[in-house]
């Protein structure tokens, strides 16, 4: 007898399957994109003066003579177990290289998210509450103006103002494992602020649009006609029903905070995964590049999957089917 699932578990399992399939496809794209790069990796790493014997030994040591399909299957199987192989340049395990770097990147993204998410939702609620007013236009135009500039431009402007002219914060975010939490927050403030300014507009505008659409519904108008205060109507009746679109855009921007951190880390010389990715590309250390790209891709897909699942669980038509 076939097992019957209700709509919610069925949709969640479907999203999980799509997420796993997407990650496999992305991993294949990452691996084959590196394979299609021109030139010899051994020659790039060892230098033009390397002898044929040295190049042959290098290729044999790292399995570069094996068929590409076999190397992909081996690489993906090991990556699933947390083994990304060995760096071609430093000859160290890649997990050792990316451990602290990944922590720094996720710390910076979490730092920015803790500021950006509540601020964006609050600004969106204020803009929706006073829609059409001067305050609404000022919030919308200012956030839209910031998002119109690329990340590196915003970063350099913040460095010019807060590091060069005012001298409040360091221009380089050189965090170390020995730093205390307070020191780390202080040194990382400018890169976190850069990311906050970039993602706030998306979340604020989506929050505003979701609340404005709900405020036009009959049950909201009825609550207002009964004399309920405007803020109470939004907090109790409108905001819970706007959870799905708000959570979706928040999850997408959290994914962007992690994936889009590369430029910010390069500008502030922040020792994160993005900086390691750029350095590894310059050194042609392709196993490290593949590992970093796979981590970024997995994080992005996971956060999108979380957004889909929350959207499904917050859908009243699925929670209370007729």
Q: Is residue 37 part of a domain?
A: no
Average pLDDT of the chain is 78
pTM of the predicted structure, to 2 decimals: 0.77
Residue 136: predicted pLDDT: 78
Mean pLDDT of the region 6-31: 81
* 202-216 per-position pLDDT tens digit: 788 877 877 777 776
Q: Is residue 295 part of a domain?
A: no
Range of the domain at 253: 95-284
Q: Is residue 314 part of a domain?
A: no
Alpha carbon distance 81, 116 (integer Å): 34
Residue 184: predicted pLDDT: 86
pLDDT at position 286 over 50? yes
Q: Is residue 316 part of a domain?
A: no
Number of independent structural domains in the chain: 1
Q: Is residue 27 part of a domain?
A: no
Alpha carbon distance 22, 7 (integer Å): 22
* 144-163 per-position pLDDT tens digit: 777 777 778 888 888 888 88
Q: Which two tokens stand for residue 104?
A: 């720094």
Exposure of 76 by Cβ count < 10 A (0-12 exposed, 13-18 middle, 19+ buried)? middle
pLDDT at position 314 over 80? no
Q: What are phi and psi of 93, to 5 degrees?
A: -60, 135
Exposure of 243 by Cβ count < 10 A (0-12 exposed, 13-18 middle, 19+ buried)? middle
Alpha carbon distances (Å) from 40 to 59, 207, 214, 223: 10, 50, 58, 70
Q: Is residue 34 part of a domain?
A: no
- Mark out the alpha helices in the chain (DSSP H runs): 7-35, 41-46, 52-61, 68-80, 94-129, 134-147, 151-158, 181-187, 189-215, 218-225, 230-233, 239-241, 243-259, 261-268, 273-283, 286-313, 316-319
pLDDT at position 175 over 60? yes
Q: Is 167 helix (H, G, I), strand (E, B) or coil?
A: coil
Residue 76: predicted pLDDT: 82
Residue 261: predicted pLDDT: 77
Residue 2: predicted pLDDT: 46
Sign of CA dihedral 140, 143, 144, 145: positive
Residue 212: predicted pLDDT: 75
> Are the C-beta atoms of 163 and 169 separated by less than 8 Å?
yes
Mean pLDDT of the region 139-143: 80
Instruction: Pick 220 or 285 by higher pLDDT.
Output: 285
pLDDT at position 1 over 50? no
Q: Is 228 helix (H, G, I), strand (E, B) or coil?
A: coil
Q: Is residue 147 part of a domain?
A: yes
Instruction: Pick 34 or 118 by higher pLDDT.
Output: 118
Across 54-58, 158-162, 193-197, least confident range? 54-58
Residue 120: predicted pLDDT: 84
Q: Is residue 239 part of a domain?
A: yes
Q: What is the share, in percent, of the chain residues with pLDDT greater than 90?
A: 0
Buried b (16+ CB within 10 A) or exposed e, 249-281: bbbbbbbbbbbbbbbbbbbbebbbbbbbbeebe
Across 41-50, 189-198, 256-265, 277-286, least confident range? 41-50
Distance of CA 177 to the CA centre of its chain: 22
Alpha carbon distance 293, 256 (integer Å): 14
CATH number, residue 138: 1.10.3720.10
Instruction: Pick 228 or 187 by higher pLDDT.
Output: 187
Q: What is the share, in percent, of the chain residues with pLDDT greater than 70?
A: 80
Q: Which two tokens stand for residue 310?
A: 């929350």
């Amino acid at each position: 007898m076939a097992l019957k699932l209700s709509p919610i578990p069925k949709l969640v399992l479907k999203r999980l399957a799509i997420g796993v399939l997407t990650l496999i496809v992305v991993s294949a794209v990452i691996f084959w994109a590196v394979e299609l790069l021109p030139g010899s990796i051994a020659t790039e790493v060892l230098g033009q003066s390397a002898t044929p014997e040295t190049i042959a030994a290098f290729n044999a040591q790292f399995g570069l003579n094996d068929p590409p399909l076999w190397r992909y299957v081996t690489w993906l199987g090991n990556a699933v177990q947390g083994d990304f192989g060995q760096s071609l340049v430093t000859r160290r395990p890649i997990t050792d290289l990316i451990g602290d770097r990944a922590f720094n990147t996720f710390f910076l993204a979490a730092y920015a998210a803790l500021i950006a998410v509540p601020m964006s939702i609050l600004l969106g609620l204020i803009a929706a509450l006073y829609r059409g007013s001067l305050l609404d236009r000022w919030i919308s135009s200012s956030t839209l103006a910031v998002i119109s500039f690329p990340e590196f431009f915003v970063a350099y402007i913040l460095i010019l103002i807060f590091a060069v002219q005012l001298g409040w914060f360091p221009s380089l975010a050189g965090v170390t494992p020995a730093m205390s939490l307070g020191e780390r927050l202080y040194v990382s403030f400018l890169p976190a602020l850069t990311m906050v300014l970039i993602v706030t507009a998306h979340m604020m505008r989506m929050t505003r649009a979701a609340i404005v659409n709900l405020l036009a519904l009959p049950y909201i108008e009825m609550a207002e006609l009964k004399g309920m205060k405007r803020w109470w109507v939004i907090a109790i009746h409108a905001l819970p029903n706007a959870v799905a679109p708000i959570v979706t855009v928040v999850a997408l921007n959290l994914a962007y905070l992690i994936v889009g951190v590369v430029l910010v880390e390069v500008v502030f010389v922040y020792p994160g995964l993005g900086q390691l990715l750029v350095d590894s590309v310059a050194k042609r250390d392709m196993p490290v590049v593949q590992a970093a790209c796979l981590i970024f891709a997995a994080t992005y897909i996971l956060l999108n999957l979380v957004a889909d699942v929350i959207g499904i669980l917050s859908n009243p038509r699925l929670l209370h089917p007729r």
